[in-house]
């Protein structure tokens, strides 16, 4: 079973072929880092929301399997997180302990569903997860499945279904103890995104406040991890776009810092589209044009039409106005 998670560099050859490739549902590929994550790869983060190098993941995973195999104890050393749309912020996460317990019985089905999610094959992922939902699962396993389903439904343009699912899972999320704050952050981010898409901006801002509180509690006195930092940024931008309120975002220097970080990543291009919108609304079209041009190569599957029709319409209009050819390929 050592090959279920495999450290592989991947080829990262762009969005045009990402969805055409067959998905290997018998292994999950670990990304080298948050910045280098390629389509189909999984990023692991630690308890304070910092992405972990692949070698560290392999080491921690080995410890986790050994502990569970030898004594039945749960370590909860690291969290697995799947990414796709930075507009939503995250696909989902699962405690390493949940992955280990899944391995005993339902692991092949869970692994296949996560492989589809990581490859942006959301329809297939949803079908696999719904089938898994019908199985007898432990409470933590069921919560992991519910969060992933909620995220996939959001990506498929079903924000009300996503929100309903999150509300049903809310009791389970709230009861998790401090080591699970990263997952609680993910749940808050997904809730904020669904509410914002539905036009419930005040409720979305309250969910955003929950996210920030959980992120601060997860990091304590240390700097916020890169993953949680991106999660908060994506949520702030999502709400600002849906509320048409660019002035609610931080100052321009902070937005430039967010943009530099986003340009340093190989994925999560939706964040760049949101930032382009923010700079345009603040009168900096040079920066907006640059960020919008850089975004498509970092988006394996364009989903803004479903996740944020307002932002999708703005991006298409500006891409044509600024003569950016990528819009013709959508």
How far is it, in rounded angstroms, from Cα 208 to Cα 203?
A: 9
The C-alpha angle with vertex 298 and arms to 297 and 302, in degrees rounded to 5, equals 85
Ramachandran angles phi, psi of 93, nearest 5°: -145, 160
Interaxial angle between packed helices 107-118 and 139-155, expressed in degrees from 0 to 180 and rounded to the nearest 10: 30
Residue 4 Cα to chain centre, angstroms: 21
| pLDDT classification of 67: cutoffs 50, 70, 90 | very low
Q: What is the pTM of this model?
A: 0.83
- The tens digit of pLDDT for each residue in 299-327 reads 989 999 999 999 999 999 999 999 999 99
- How far is it, in rounded angstroms, from Cα 281 to Cα 301? 26
How do beta strands 41-45 and 28-30 pair?
Answer: parallel
Distance between alpha carbon 5 and the CA centroid of its chain, in Å? Answer: 19
Sign of CA dihedral 253, 218, 43, 17: negative
Closest CA to 228 of 98, 49, 86: 49
Residue 281 has pLDDT above 50, yes or no: yes
Q: For 23-34, what is each residue's pLDDT tens digit? A: 887 777 777 888
Give the mean pLDDT of 111-119. 83
* Sheet containing strand 5-7, strands side by side: 5-7, 28-30, 41-45, 79-82, 92-95
As a CATH number, domain 5-250 is 1.25.40
* Rounded Cα–Cα distance for residues 292 and 270 (Å): 9
Mean pLDDT of all residues belonging to the chain: 79
* Contact indicator for 155, 307 with CB cutoff of 8 Å: yes
Q: Tens digit of pLDDT for each residue in 158-169? A: 999 999 999 988
* φ/ψ bin of 172: left (φ > 0), alpha (ψ from -120 to 50), beta (otherwise): alpha
Which pLDDT does position 107 carry in this prediction? 78
The residues spanned by each domain of the chain are 5-250
Query: Which tops the pLDDT comparison, 75 or 150?
Result: 150
- 69 pLDDT band (50/70/90 cuts)? very low
Contacts of 274 (CB under 8 A, 6+ apart): 86, 87, 234, 237, 238, 240, 241, 311
Task: Indicate if the pLDDT at residue 20 is higher than 90.
Answer: no
Report which of residues 284 and 43 the model is more confident about: 284
Pair 314, 305: CB distance under 8 Å: no
pLDDT grade, residue 102 (50/70/90)?
low
pLDDT of 270 higher than 90: yes
């Amino acid at each position: 079973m050592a090959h279920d998670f495999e450290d592989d560099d991947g080829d990262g050859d762009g969005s045009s072929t990402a969805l055409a490739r067959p998905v290997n549902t018998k292994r999950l590929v670990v990304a080298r880092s948050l910045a280098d994550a390629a389509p189909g790869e999984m990023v692991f983060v630690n308890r304070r929301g910092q992405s972990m190098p692949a070698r560290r993941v392999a080491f921690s995973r080995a410890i986790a399997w050994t502990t569970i195999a030898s004594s039945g104890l749960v370590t909860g050393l690291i969290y697995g997180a799947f990414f796709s749309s930075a507009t939503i912020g995250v696909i989902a996460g699962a405690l390493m302990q949940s992955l280990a317990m899944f391995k005993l019985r339902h692991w092949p089905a869970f692994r296949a569903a996560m492989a589809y999610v990581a490859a942006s094959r959301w329809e297939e992922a949803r079908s696999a997860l719904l089938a898994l939902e019908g199985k007898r699962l432990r409470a933590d396993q069921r919560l992991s499945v519910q969060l992933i389903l909620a995220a996939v439904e959001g990506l498929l343009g079903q924000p009300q279904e996503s929100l309903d699912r999150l509300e049903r899972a809310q009791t389970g999320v709230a009861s998790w103890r401090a080591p699970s704050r990263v997952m609680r952050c993910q749940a808050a981010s997904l809730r904020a995104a669904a509410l914002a898409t539905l036009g419930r901006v005040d409720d979305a801002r309250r969910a955003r406040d929950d996210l920030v509180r959980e992120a601060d509690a997860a990091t304590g006195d240390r700097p916020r991890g890169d993953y949680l930092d991106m999660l908060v940024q994506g949520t702030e931008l999502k709400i600002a776009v849906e509320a048409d309120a660019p002035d609610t975002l931080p100052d321009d220097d902070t937005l430039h810092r967010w943009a530099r970080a986003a340009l340093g990543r190989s994925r999560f291009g939706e964040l760049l589209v949101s930032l382009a919108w923010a700079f345009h609304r603040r009168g900096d079209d040079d920066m907006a044009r640059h960020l919008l041009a850089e975004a498509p190569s970092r988006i394996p599957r364009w989903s803004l039409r479903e996740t944020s029709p307002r932002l999708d319409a703005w991006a298409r209009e500006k891409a044509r106005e600024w003569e950016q050819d990528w819009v013709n390929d959508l």
